[in-house]
A = this chain, B = another copy of it.
């Protein structure tokens, strides 16, 4: 995927690439600090990097969950980060009209897992000409991701990747089916989302839980089986983040994680 992505650095690195940033854009300063820190790390480690931030959280369990600071405001912050650090950027969209709106600010449009079967949304993203990442639905088999990929390519856009984020295992768990990574790589590059794959859905509180202590475990397995990229949400202070605090990696821990993953990557080349 990254070969056609302008602005991305370390394109010829044998490493996996990285999509990282906060869950939601909560303010101007935090995402900027995250981007700066991740960029420094990925430059040192020779890892191609795409900055990620959500301009709007549209699918919270509860109506009183934080949903954003305003679409345009958040998108502009993402755009400024891309310009300031000369980085490609990505955000997720939730309705077809978001596609063109967000495409004015970012380089990669992400389709959320619950929405990956919505043809209008996928086609709208594809038609912007931007790169498209498709999160695998928690209810889809790896083989079924062939069809959303084709919705992008049949719309004339060859720049598509799949993000694995776990499969429903009963009501309370998601499990990454690593057998699916080589299967899906027949259709498109595969990125492992090591943040949302650890969610514990359907919690009684209406707030999705998580198991962040297992981030390293599921990330290493993903690199070992040959995932093309890693997606991670990170924050200087996850406990006080306004969304997904349960699973974001503390920013200070990212360096150690990436170094370990680079070593595993080297072992499979």
Tell me the bound Cα distance from A204 to B175 in angstroms. Answer: 19
- Check if A169 sits within 8 Å of B175, measured CB to CB: yes
Residue of chain B at shortest CB distance from A197: B179
Q: Report A199-230 CB contacts with B as 1/0, cut-off 8 Å.
A: 00110101000010010011011111110000
Chain B residues with Cβ below 8 Å from A94 are: 118, 120
Chain B residues with Cβ below 8 Å from A115 are: 114-115, 118
CB < 8 Å neighbour of A59 from B119, B178, B202, B222: B119
- A60-B119, A95-B96, A206-B146 known; A141 and B179 CB under 8 Å? no
Residue of chain B at shortest CB distance from A144: B202
Residue of chain B at shortest CB distance from A224: B224
Copies in the complex: 4
Chain B residues with Cβ below 8 Å from A59 are: 117-119
- Check if A202 sits within 8 Å of B141, measured CB to CB: yes
Q: Is A138 an interface residue (CB 8 A)?
A: yes
- Check if A140 sits within 8 Å of B211, measured CB to CB: no
Chain B residues with Cβ below 8 Å from A96 are: 95
Chain B residues with Cβ below 8 Å from A62 are: 147, 150-151
**Which of A42-50, A73-81, A259-267 forms part of the interface with chain B?**
A259-267
Interface residues on A, range: 35 or more
Q: Is A61 an interface residue (CB 8 A)?
A: yes
Q: Is A30 an interface residue (CB 8 A)?
A: no
Chain B residues with Cβ below 8 Å from A120 are: 58, 94-95
Q: Report A71-105 CB contacts with B as 1/0, cut-off 8 Å.
A: 00000000000000000000000111000000000
Interfacial residues of chain A within 105-144, with CB under 8 A of chain B in the complex: 114-115, 117-120, 123, 137-141, 143-144
Tell me the bound Cα distance from A243 to B164 in angstroms. Answer: 29
Interface centre among A120, A178, A260 (most CB of B within 10 A): A178
Closest CB of chain B to A84's CB: distance in Å?
31
Q: Is A176 an interface residue (CB 8 A)?
A: yes
Q: Is A154 an interface residue (CB 8 A)?
A: yes
* Contacts A94-B120, A175-B179, A220-B225 supplied; 12 other A-B pairs, CB < 8 Å: A59-B118, A63-B123, A114-B139, A139-B168, A169-B170, A169-B175, A172-B172, A173-B177, A179-B211, A218-B225, A220-B221, A263-B268
Contact sample, A vs B, 11 pairs, CB 8 Å cutoff: A58-B119, A63-B150, A95-B96, A138-B168, A146-B206, A171-B172, A173-B177, A178-B217, A179-B218, A220-B221, A224-B224
